[in-house]
Structure 1
Amino acid sequence: MTPDFQQLMRNATRLTRTGDLQAATAAIQAALAGTAPAPTPPAPRAMRDMADVIDVVARELPDTDVTTPPRPAANDAPGTGRFIAGSHSNAASRRDFKLYIPPGAGERALPLVVMLHGCTQNPDDFAAGTAMNELARAQGFFVLYPAQSQQANPQRCWSWFKHNHQARGRGEPALLAGMTHEVMAAHAVDPERVYVAGLSAGGAMAAILGDAYPDVYAAVGVHSGLAAGTATDLPSALGAMKGGGHPLRASASGVATIVFHGDADSTVHPVNGHQVITASAGTASSVEVEHIATAGGRASTRSVHRAPDGAVLAEHWLVHGAPHAWSGGSTKGSYTDARGPDASAEMLRFFMAHPRRQGH
């Protein structure tokens, strides 16, 4: 861990103990984002109930506007597909999004990949860094990029560590699943091939979505994230980021999951990647381990977890020497590591091998 990250963690812990939860939350957001927190005024009063406080740090007012129809983005070009902007609302809140529509969309049902950005990022930045639109153009699938609002979180982190944003039908998971359904209804999307992936806070929220909505998302990609239920409040979030938490699920979810995590990640401890895999595949699966060396790039260890019938349940890519960044990403976006194996391509390969299982 870097000294700056450790200092942010110590500050957050100290502020939690003194009851200044607003400042403590700013510290954890800064730790996730890798930045120094802006000064925060003292909390107006002592907070007795930590579970309630964590939900009101960034208040969000219900938005009564109807859903905004998607509109073309300014950077569309002939033959490259379309990258359009829109928004989705439910009774509680609203979020903007960007949607990549590949050339030839509408001729047949295509897969959909939902991409959840990390703290301080936005859809355009995440699309540039992961180069997922380029893969979508070449291989033919939709890409949905939900945008976290600064009203909901000042540094645009998804609320993975808040207990009321971790279950089906509640909070951000309900909003994101609703947004996914809206896109599916508006476009020719194959309902058996809908997937979700994310980075850091987005990766943690992707794990929550896969756990809460296995009937919507056929497989999950978690990059530098945490398992669903690892944290339910600020103190447990701090602990999980520093050294892993205690996921609530007692048994494996069975949701097909691929994990990328750098073993030099000083923001989210690499043990969290192992916990994501355990939450998905359990401990009874057989494991095949492969060591991969790349000329001029980072070496990695790929562990494939199989069910007794040989079906692949999960993949874990531990990228050696990699920081808290999207492996194999483009320098056009933030939080990317161009030297690593291509997480976007590997996640896409894994996704396409895992259509939604019957009964889900």
Structure 2
Amino acid sequence: MRVAIRVVQTLIALLVLALLVGAWWYVPGELKQSPVLTGTSEDASVRQGERRRSYVLYVPQKLAEHPALLVVLHSSQSNGQRMRRDSGYRFDALADRDGFLVLYPDGFEGHWNDCRRVASYSARALNIDDVGFLSGMIERLQRERAVDPARVFVAGYSNGGQMALRLAAEAPDVVDGVAAVAASLPTADNDACAPARQPTAALLMNGTRDPINPYAGGRVTLFGFGDRGNVLSAEDSATALARRNGQNGEPVQDRLTEAGPVWTQRQRWDASGGPPVELLTVHGGGHLLSQPVYRPPRLLGQADPQLDGPAEIWRFFSDLRP
């Protein structure tokens, strides 16, 4: 009897050890190298109605006289400071090079009130005015930091990417271009936002093996939990944005990175004179922003080791004509 008990205890101990090893392998991320930055980050907050909203503002040492502003929106259950890490501080490094401001605002209780009707987190349930909050922050920085109003861009990852798409639809007079990573347009039955008022330049960056936001479209869940409703496929999303912008032709395709287990292809719609739309398809890629400095949790899938996602996003924005 004692032998049987010891065998069971040993098996339980081995199972617990295996779970701990699995968690250590799949869950945490890793910063491969410390960022070398010359600017400063400012942590502050502003009042929105009865609430205070926090943010981080990165100011490069050599700020342009009338700088561009890049707003970077984090994923679910995150914040602006973690988004700096998740992007490998690459947006900050690009700001050091080109002299623009980077704003990392915090969502409400870790989330953004994007367009997805089915989402049940508090930002959605309470209908937090994130369009108003972000528009107000942009207008404030235009006053206080002399931001060029013709060069205001928004990039977002996951829930932040969904929020960027909402801004493109509901605040196109405030932002001049958006980029959504690991995010697709919600289907008509899952879309709670107002119809888009005018065209806006847009870039999508999606992985074909995304375990959360399916590249081919369908139900979005957090590994089976936290239903976010249905989304269009990445390609249908890009086509819909292109048609919204008056781009009715076929996209030009090219390969961004060399063939391998994970590689990236670009499709670009820009032949019809309206704002351009790009879809970066990370073949074999997961639910993440590929970049060379931060290794995201393995649970989210693989990144393209040759793709610098933040640099591609900034390249897209930099090429836009005011």
Q: Provide TM-score, normalisation by structure 2.
A: 0.71
Q: 1:225 to 1:329 in 2, by over 3 A?
A: farther
Q: Is the 8 Å Cα contact of residues 330 and 338 (structure 1) preserved in structure 2?
A: no
Tell me by how many angstroms 1:121 deviates: 2.2
Distance (whole Å) between structure 2 residues aligned to residue 256 and residue 308 of structure 1: 13
Distance (whole Å) between structure 2 residues aligned to residue 340 and residue 186 of structure 1: 38
Q: Is the 8 Å Cα contact of residues 230 and 246 (structure 1) preserved in structure 2?
A: no
Q: 1:98 to 1:270 in 2, by over 3 A?
A: same
Q: Which residue of 2 aligns with 1:324?
A: 287
Distance (whole Å) between structure 1 residues aligned to residue 166 and residue 159 of structure 2: 11
Tell me by how many angstroms 1:173 deviates: 1.1
Equivalent runs, 1:158-307 vs 2, <5 Å: 158-160=112-114, 161-162=116-117, 171-227=129-185, 230=187, 236=190, 249=195, 253-271=198-216, 272-282=233-243, 284-294=248-258, 298-307=262-271
Q: 1:312 to 1:286 in 2, by over 3 A?
A: farther
Distance (whole Å) between structure 2 residues aligned to residue 231 and residue 201 of structure 1: 18
Q: Is the 8 Å Cα contact of residues 254 and 313 (structure 1) preserved in structure 2?
A: no
Q: Which residue of 1 aligns with 2:228?
A: none
Structure 1 vs Structure 2 CA RMSD: 3.3
Identity of aligned residues (%): 26
Write out per-residue CA displacement over residues 298-326 of structure 1, whole angstroms, 9 at most, x where no aligned residue. 322210102324x6611101000001011
Letter in 1 for 2:141: V
Letter in 2 for 1:204: Q
Unaligned runs of at least 5 residues, structure 1 = 1-33, 36-74, 151-155, 237-244
Equivalent runs, 1:80-229 vs 2, <5 Å: 80-91=38-49, 93-105=51-63, 108-130=65-87, 131-150=90-109, 156-160=110-114, 161-162=116-117, 171-227=129-185
Q: Which residue of 2 aligns with 1:239?
A: none
Distance (whole Å) between structure 2 residues aligned to residue 76 and residue 290 of structure 1: 31
Distance (whole Å) between structure 2 residues aligned to residue 329 and residue 146 of structure 1: 23
Query: Is residue 313 of structure 2 the alignment partner of residue 347 of structure 1?
Result: yes
Q: Is the 8 Å Cα contact of residues 102 and 137 (structure 1) preserved in structure 2?
A: yes
Distance (whole Å) between structure 2 residues aligned to residue 92 and residue 124 of structure 1: 23
Write out per-residue CA displacement over residues 217-274 of structure 1, whole angstroms, 9 at most, x where no aligned residue. 10010101132x6477xxx4xxxxxxxx79974x895210011000001200114422
Q: Secondary structure at the match of 1:121?
A: coil
Write out per-residue CA displacement over residues 65-115 of structure 1, whole angstroms, 9 at most, x where no aligned residue. xxxxxxxxxx999x711100111222254310000011122x510110000
Q: Secondary structure at the match of 1:192?
A: coil
Tell me by how many angstroms 1:212 deviates: 1.1
Letter in 1 for 2:271: A
Distance (whole Å) between structure 2 residues aligned to residue 262 and residue 189 of structure 1: 33
Q: Is the 8 Å Cα contact of residues 75 and 158 (structure 2) preserved in structure 1?
A: yes
Q: Is the 8 Å Cα contact of residues 156 and 162 (structure 2) preserved in structure 1?
A: yes
Q: Is the 8 Å Cα contact of residues 248 and 272 (structure 2) preserved in structure 1?
A: no
Tell me by how many angstroms 1:132 deviates: 0.9
Q: 1:123 to 1:333 in 2, by over 3 A?
A: farther
Q: Who wins on radius of gyration, i.e. which is larger?
A: 2
Q: Is the 8 Å Cα contact of residues 220 and 257 (structure 1) preserved in structure 2?
A: yes
Distance (whole Å) between structure 2 residues aligned to residue 123 and residue 115 of structure 1: 8
Structure scoring higher RCO (CA < 8 A, sep ≥ 6) equals 2
Q: Provide TM-score, normalisation by structure 1.
A: 0.64
Distance (whole Å) between structure 1 residues aligned to residue 306 and residue 111 of structure 2: 24
How many equivalent pairs are there? 261
Distance (whole Å) between structure 1 residues aligned to residue 35 and residue 307 of structure 2: 29
